[in-house]
Structure 1
């Protein structure tokens, strides 16, 4: 079968891979219809390289069930599904305690197990969530990044009428954060990014105000837009050392910051921002992965419900649709940053 395999930093190859076969009665084989490139994929491609050199890569996908094991009752051939990428040992202490996102054994497809940049994938039935037939595969392949955001918001105390600042609002995670904030009932959503085109998309998806941090003072503008109070909740979705070190400045006294982005570098923080944690008595929430108990968690059913009811708009987030074989070229374009590239959806079949 066709696949994309990651061998090292900036070494992604379009190659043949062995089509998966059922090995036990709890497994399912899915014919993949659409796969998405994640922001973490871009960072790994640029900085970290492969978990397992030569492994089929990717963890965001949707497709159609082709085969089911004899013990599988939750799915049948022909069902449309989204993939849950989290691979966890069920004997893990945290998994048994109902905290799968904290499991020491937590891994993801595309790392040690074959991933979703391929024509087919094999997974345990519990790692597949049925989606309505009327939900298109592009949207279904984006269920996973939405669940990452929702998992983070569930960690917070976000309530109706709150003001929310989203830093890194132009990426997939940030744009979902904008939309979920509105669904939760946020009064004012302030989108912060360094790209005006992406900020325009954020505004189209519900942001009330936008701030380009390259040419505007974020502290001043956030204060202005929130009646000098600052935000109840700040979402760090950029995943850079600079943004991770400065987001505390945008939260009101008694507010909180939730971290969704992954910096992939050391963080050095000015005293001014660190003291905001103490002097403003902030709450800081770390958020990891996209699953909760009972596995895979309400993040999944909730996302599918709001996507299917058109409350979550994925179409405005997608800027490129390509064939799987064009993947290596696209990743190089993502390194150059010479054009607006938002969500990229890849198709393994012509």
Structure 2
């Protein structure tokens, strides 16, 4: 079968690889649609946790092509999406609802071969059957939305919270919709792209600013915001973003940075302002809630697809450069 393989950092190729035959409790999915995540770019650059060579891709949907032994409930031809998480289910973290920190943590496209291929095999327990009115494009959004749902769990927002978000890409736009639904009052968004800021306003941002307008942001909330979220993963942006956190405020690191990145912050501010610093690692048993949210049209994702490309075109996309106005780019197989 045809697949995109990252052979080593900075080197991706299209080549034939063995078909992934399902084992006991597994199904093989014929992949229809794959979302390209910022993490995939980090893997390409050698900035993540992944081994090499690896087939990336963890946001996907498709059709069940083959079923292994002991797989109930599903049939060949079912339209499905799959949680890429590979938790052991037995360690102390898994048994205390912290599966994203499983001692044997794995994920399709991150630690084992993923979905940027004609076929991918997954444990049947990870599957959800897509309703007829859910497109393959939407199905490939369940995983990124599950990351947003986990972020919302971590934030524990209160109605009326004043929120500042750095980064209005595809993930930022889903965060905007989610935080509006959770009851944010002020919802200010900062980005380089005027087009992304325009869309942010449509989804519920109350104020939008470019990076050159940070003084106006400070004027909007002189003592800082109840919640500050970074969805850029850029260390210089993160250093600045933290300083906008107000007294007893929460700062959430949502964007993925390079693994060796570092920032500076003032520990006196952390002490004096009673800050809470939060991380949000991938998804944590949030795939089903995200699926339900998407199924009921609570979050709109179809407008976030900037373009669809072929598997072959993905090699040059990973190499860059990329248009700053792009939101989600998906691969159609």
TM-score by length of 1: 0.88
Q: Is the 8 A contact 1:237 1:261 kept in 2?
A: yes
Q: Indicate how the Cα distance of structure 1 residues 337 and 23 shifts in structure 2: closer, same or farther if over 3 A, else same.
A: closer
Residue number in structure 1 paired with 2:152: 153
Distance 2:144 2:116 in 1: 16
Q: Is the 8 A contact 1:244 1:267 kept in 2?
A: no
Query: Structure 2 matches for 1:131-142, cutoff 5 A?
Result: 131-142=130-141
Residues 163-217 of structure 1 show CA distances to partners (whole Å, capped at 9, x for unaligned) of 211112x22221211111011121221111222222222222221211111x112
Give the superposition deviation at 1:115.
0.3
2:262 equivalent among 264, 267, 286: 267
Residue number in structure 1 paired with 2:27: 28
Residue number in structure 1 paired with 2:294: 307
Q: Indicate how the Cα distance of structure 1 residues 78 and 160 shifts in structure 2: closer, same or farther if over 3 A, else same.
A: farther
Q: Is the 8 A contact 2:30 2:118 kept in 1?
A: yes
Residue number in structure 2 paired with 1:282: 275
Q: Indicate how the Cα distance of structure 1 residues 301 and 225 shifts in structure 2: closer, same or farther if over 3 A, else same.
A: farther
Distance 1:195 1:151 in 2: 26
Q: Indicate how the Cα distance of structure 1 residues 104 and 245 shifts in structure 2: closer, same or farther if over 3 A, else same.
A: farther
Give the superposition deviation at 1:223.
3.8
Q: Is the 8 A contact 2:238 2:263 kept in 1?
A: no
2:204 equivalent among 196, 203, 206: 206
Residue number in structure 2 paired with 1:225: 220
Query: Structure 2 matches for 1:235-246, cutoff 5 A?
Result: 235-246=229-240
Distance 1:68 1:267 in 2: 45
Q: Is the 8 A contact 1:6 1:50 kept in 2?
A: no
Distance 2:261 2:38 in 1: 18
Q: Is the 8 A contact 2:3 2:55 kept in 1?
A: yes
Q: Is the 8 A contact 1:29 1:65 kept in 2?
A: yes
Give structure 1 stretches of 5+ with no counterpart: 292-296
Q: Is the 8 A contact 1:248 1:276 kept in 2?
A: no
Q: Indicate how the Cα distance of structure 1 residues 176 and 17 shifts in structure 2: closer, same or farther if over 3 A, else same.
A: same
Give the superposition deviation at 1:49.
7.8
Residue number in structure 1 paired with 2:67: 68
> 1:29 is paired with a residue of what secondary structure?
strand
Aligned residues: 332
Residue number in structure 2 paired with 1:188: 186
Q: Is the 8 A contact 2:7 2:53 kept in 1?
A: yes
1:257 equivalent among 247, 251, 256: 251
Residue number in structure 2 paired with 1:336: 321
Distance 1:313 1:336 in 2: 27
Distance 2:244 2:280 in 1: 19
Is 2:213 aligned against 1:216?
A: yes
Q: Is the 8 A contact 2:169 2:326 kept in 1?
A: no
Is 2:306 aligned against 1:319?
A: yes
Is 2:7 aligned against 1:10?
A: no
Q: Is the 8 A contact 1:88 1:107 kept in 2?
A: yes
Report the aligned-residue RMSD.
2.0
Q: Is the 8 A contact 1:201 1:316 kept in 2?
A: no
Residue number in structure 2 paired with 1:294: none
